[in-house]
Amino acid sequence: MSTSVHVEVTVNGELRHADIEPRTLLVQWLRDELGLTGTHVGCDTSNCGACTVHLNGESVKGCTVLAVQADGQEVTTIEGLGSADALHPLQEGFWEKHGVQCGFCTPGMIMAAADLLERNPNPSDEEIRHGLEGNLCRCTGYHNIVEAVKAAAGARQEVGS
Amino acid sequence: MNVGTAMRRKEDPRMITGRGRYTEDIQLPGMLYAAIVRSTEGHAAISSIDVSAAKERPGVVAVFTGADLAGDFASGLAMAWAPPGVEINTPENMPLQPSQVKHVGDPVAVVVATTRGAAFDAAEDVMVDYDPKPVVVDPVAALADGAPLVWESFGSNKTHEWGVSGGDIDAALADADVTITKRFVNHRTSGAPIEPRCSIAEPRGDGMTLYSTTQIPHIARFILGGMLGIPEDKLRVVAPDVGGGFGAKLQVYAEEALVLALAKRLGRPVKWTETRSEHMTTSHHGRDQIIEVTLGAKSDGTVTGCKADIIADLGAYQLLLTPFIPTLGFPVMGGCYKFPAIDIKITGVFTNKMCTDAIRGAGRPEATYWIELSMDKLADELGMDRLELRRKNFPDKEEFPFETALGIVYDSGDYHGTLDKLLEMFDLDEFRREQEELRGKGVYRGVGVSTWVEVCGLAPSRAVGPQGVGLQAAFYESASVRVTPTGSAIVYSGTSPHGQGIDTSFAQIAGDILGIDPQNVTVLHGDTDQGAWGWNTYGSRSLAVGGEALVRAARKVQDKAKRICAALLEASPDDIELTDGKYQVKGSPDKSMTMAEISGAAHIPPNELPADIEPGLEESSFYDPENFVFPFGAHACVVDVDAETGKVKVVRYVAVDDCGRAINPMLIEGQIHGGIAHAIGQALYEQVVYDEDGQLVTGTFVDYALPTAAEIPPFETDRTETPSPVNSLGVKGVGEAGTIAATPAVAAAVLDALEPLGVTELDIPMTPMRVWQAIQAAGGNGGGRAGTAEGGGA
């Protein structure tokens, strides 16, 4: 069990080497070893989605992926999505539409929404609500999260056109 | 003016980029990890604990049992309520139970290791031998003669009885033309913030720092300092970014005391992080009351009196406010109505379950639920329109301040106003036509309307402190305002937010009073080493109490700024006015100074300041309110019920709320949205369930159904603004409003939808199984209570 495994993972564009215990969850590795604490843990059962990150551009729950499974692949966390100077349209949307209260679900929610918009650039309200049902929020009642995602979708289309 | 505008939040840039700093994010050099061994039994004596295998695990630093740590604590966990003349049975509750366990999850041992994984592995190797005892989980059964006793030493499962009354209830009910009696179950729920609890104790010199996911850092320091024998000046409690609370973090928990004791013993930082299953098992629960209500009225709808007999399941111990929570609902146990006589009796009960305590609304959602559904039933009994009955009993706005039969003074209100506005947004007549049409097509659509009032802004100390209701505390709030030499400001607040947006709303308030941009105001809180003593955040008090303290401190700064400005401009302080961010001499707009110039002069004066002006620019204030504040409103919910499956879908939700003057309307909407969603969860999905052996059935988010975005509708919200006369801002609280208002509206909507199917009674949560059972029972025998708590079905 204590045998470690070598992995090479590109995290937010930077190649990271590590020797890790095989049972280490991706989210634990990101948080505890790489200090990327924007990705959170809210449950033990893959229900809450607070740990959502991108693996090769698709959203995954970081508590349901072993870090060794990310070997040779690309991981993007909230820290790699945008920066304070160059916010991602979703980060702008969540700020502008008050999609954030305590902020704990926010990174996972944004990462899940980013994947949703990649797959469906112009989702309806229903599609947003169903698209985000793997991410729990206790603060906002989801209303402003839906508004934030809509705003981001609009902004992305403006940029695209 | 920044107050009144929907300024976007100052908190958000760090939250949306993953740079928030929550307790679990903190890593300290040499930090150890704790894992707790918890009872698997609902009730048992501990026969033996074998820690030898655990101690041999690699990475394990220490393993302790309750007996090992017995000398580390001067006392057990605290309960803060001592109502005059009422004895409350309060058992000792040590951070690790030394000899017996009273509910599943009771902590019995702790493992400390160099890694999280090692701690978890070793915790599984701790062998605890239990001698099981009879379990009681139903509060009514617990009160019956011969029931198994949770605490034999008390000789009864009854914890206490508390009552309040006003007016002559017997005469009032005798005088009624119509009376209704109805039984309600407010089932047990979980606060379930998405951030689990986490506590880290760090030795520093001869003292200790505790980082914790708490709503109450000052109260925690006071209590934990006493338990651990650490003087308050040596114990620093920090609440970093806190990922939601909802009351679940309004507690001083065993684990906080435990990490302090461990760090003290081991001389190294110790971190404990709650798993979600631990949250469901051992973070306090809420609600869990059974209420028998009698309401009487004259035939014209004038209510004559209201009587309620409440059984409150408190669980196995008394945590900080456990027995007080049902009582916290009493100030609004007449609802937003003129009930001339009110009589309330509350009986607390021990069961072999986790303690209940404050969860969003804390006593007031329970009360509002039974009041509103009782009003519906009374209207039906009278053959009167449900809203007409409400209007008949509303105090008119001219009647405020309105004193209830219980002697509570509602500060201000316009209950017809919010209901009028609701009906402008929601055409009830049109809805009834649509409903009729849909019923013809087999679609069961229903509407529920609740009109509500809340008591919040905790609290006037004289009303709820030792001489009042009996909390062993006071409830003023502190604020201090420091202007830096370059003219930015730091506000220290005694409140301790966890998502409310206080950094923003308090900056708006301070900015206006000081004459500086809110972007240049930083609001600090949640650190007992900064600022003055505070009573922290719960009971929708931050703005109404903490905000007013801030106003008073900021006005003192403004006064001093004016005096300095006057001295430097050779004018009278009375002639200095603050306009557009400039302190200027009345009538001479060319003679003015900015706050930056004034503060510069206060700190590094170009000339000596007059002898009566001290250097520096910093003031503080403590504010104890004269009264509570009473937000109110009217909500309408529309649901569709699938008669085949029993599934309920909320299809429309309209809310008109009045929380006094708006500081930031965007934050108000956000609080209302979240509150309504919480209440929809309570009405339709969420329930903490124990089986008859005291095993928790809903230990994860797989079983405890928190609503997702797919279950929650978009909200249509609006406000009226009736300022509170209690504080100079005119504000009331809003954090719990939605939760208080919405559960009865949702429940009434489901009952309305089910009316053509013959279902008249149904307890919350109205899960598909319960709804389906109720439909079957009604179809089978034309009525019945199959869908109720007694009829089974979680």
Kind of pairing between the strands at B303-315 and B489-493: unpaired
Query: Is A22 part of the contact surface with chain B (CB cutoff 8 Å)?
Result: no
Which of B12, B16, B23, B712 to mutate to probe the A interface, most A CBs <10 Å?
B16
pLDDT attached to residue A161 = 57
Q: Dump the DSSP string for B345-369.
A: EEEEEE-SSPPB---TTTTHHHHHH
What's the per-residue H, E or C state across B756-772?
Answer: HHCCCCCCCCCCHHHHH
Helix (H, G, I), strand (E, B) or coil at B23: helix
A125 closest CB neighbour out of B276, B498, B714: B714
Question: B261 and B164 in contact (C-beta within 8 Å)?
Answer: no
Name the domain boundary from A81, A111, A146.
Answer: A81
pLDDT attached to residue B351 = 99
Kind of pairing between the strands at B207-212 and B235-238: parallel
A93 and A150 share one domain: yes
Whole-angstrom Cα distance, residue B392 to residue B386?
Answer: 10
Average confidence (pLDDT) per 10 residues, chain B, 794 residues: 97 97 98 98 98 98 98 98 97 98 98 97 98 98 98 98 98 98 98 98 97 98 98 97 98 98 98 98 98 98 98 98 97 97 98 98 98 98 98 98 98 98 98 96 96 96 95 97 98 97 98 98 97 95 98 98 96 96 94 97 90 96 98 98 97 98 98 98 98 98 98 98 98 97 98 96 97 91 45 38
Are A105 and B714 in contact (CB < 8 Å)?
Answer: no
Are A41 and B24 in contact (CB < 8 Å)?
Answer: yes
A93 and A145 share one domain: yes
A77 and A144 share one domain: no
User: A2 pLDDT band (50/70/90 cuts)?
Assistant: low
Residues of B with Cβ-Cβ distance to A81 under 8 angstroms: 17-18
- Determine the Cα angle at B618 with ends B525 and B622, to 5°: 60
Residues of B with Cβ-Cβ distance to A44 under 8 angstroms: 275-277, 700
A141 closest CB neighbour out of B9, B58, B673: B673
Query: Is A39 part of the contact surface with chain B (CB cutoff 8 Å)?
Result: yes
Could you give phi then psi for residue B289, rounded to 5 degrees? Answer: -130, 145
CATH code where residue A27 lies: 3.10.20.30
Residues of B with Cβ-Cβ distance to A36 under 8 angstroms: 18
B276 closest CB neighbour out of A21, A43, A84: A43
Are A98 and B667 in contact (CB < 8 Å)?
Answer: yes
Are B195 and A21 in contact (CB < 8 Å)?
Answer: no
- Nearest Cα to A62, choosing from A107, A102, A103, A19? A107
B19 closest CB neighbour out of A38, A47, A100: A38
Domains and CATH numbers, chain B: 12-133+195-243+249-282 (3.90.1170.50), 285-458+627-781 (3.30.365.10), 476-623 (3.30.365.10)
A55 and A16 share one domain: yes
CB contacts < 8 A (A, B): 190
Whole-angstrom Cα distance, residue B455 to residue B96?
Answer: 36
Query: Is A18 part of the contact surface with chain B (CB cutoff 8 Å)?
Result: no
A74 and A98 share one domain: no
Are A91 and B17 in contact (CB < 8 Å)?
Answer: yes
Name the domain boundary from A54, A81, A108.
Answer: A81
Q: Which helix (H) or strand (E) holds A112?
A: helix A106-119
Are A130 and B498 in contact (CB < 8 Å)?
Answer: no
Are A42 and B194 in contact (CB < 8 Å)?
Answer: yes
CATH code where residue A108 lies: 1.10.150.120
Whole-angstrom Cα distance, residue B331 to residue B456?
Answer: 10
- Cα distance from A156 to chain B (closest Cα, Å)? 17
Question: Residue B165 carries which side chain, given as an amino acid letter?
Answer: S
Q: B62: which DSSP letter?
A: E
Q: A32: which DSSP letter?
A: I
A76 and A14 share one domain: yes
Q: Which residue on chain B is closest to A47 by alpha carbon?
A: B701
Residues of B with Cβ-Cβ distance to A2 under 8 angstroms: 58
A24 and A44 share one domain: yes
Residues of B with Cβ-Cβ distance to A116 under 8 angstroms: none
- Cα distance from A132 to chain B (closest Cα, Å)? 7
Q: Which helix (H) or strand (E) holds A60?
A: strand A58-61
Q: Which residue on chain B is closest to A94 by alpha carbon?
A: B16
A97 and A142 share one domain: yes
A96 and A68 share one domain: no
Query: Is A71 part of the contact surface with chain B (CB cutoff 8 Å)?
Result: no
Name the domain boundary from A81, A108, A136.
Answer: A81
Are B58 and A2 in contact (CB < 8 Å)?
Answer: yes
Query: Is A135 part of the contact surface with chain B (CB cutoff 8 Å)?
Result: yes
Query: Is A40 part of the contact surface with chain B (CB cutoff 8 Å)?
Result: yes
- Nearest Cα to B37, choosing from B97, B99, B117? B97
Query: Is A61 part of the contact surface with chain B (CB cutoff 8 Å)?
Result: no
* pLDDT higher than threshold 80 for residue A128: yes
Q: Dump the DSSP string for B687-725.
A: ---B-TTS-BS--STTTS----TTTSPPEEEEE-----S
Are A38 and B17 in contact (CB < 8 Å)?
Answer: yes
pLDDT attached to residue A40 = 98
Q: Domain span at residue A70?
A: 5-81
A37 and A59 share one domain: yes
Residues of A with Cβ-Cβ distance to B244 under 8 angstroms: 101-102, 104, 138-139
A93 and A155 share one domain: yes
A77 and A93 share one domain: no
- Nearest Cα to A131, choosing from B244, A139, A121? A121
Give, in order, the Cα–Cα distances in Å from B84 to each of A153, B320, B470, B474.
59, 17, 6, 16
Q: What domain count does chain A have?
A: 2
Residues of B with Cβ-Cβ distance to A145 under 8 angstroms: 709
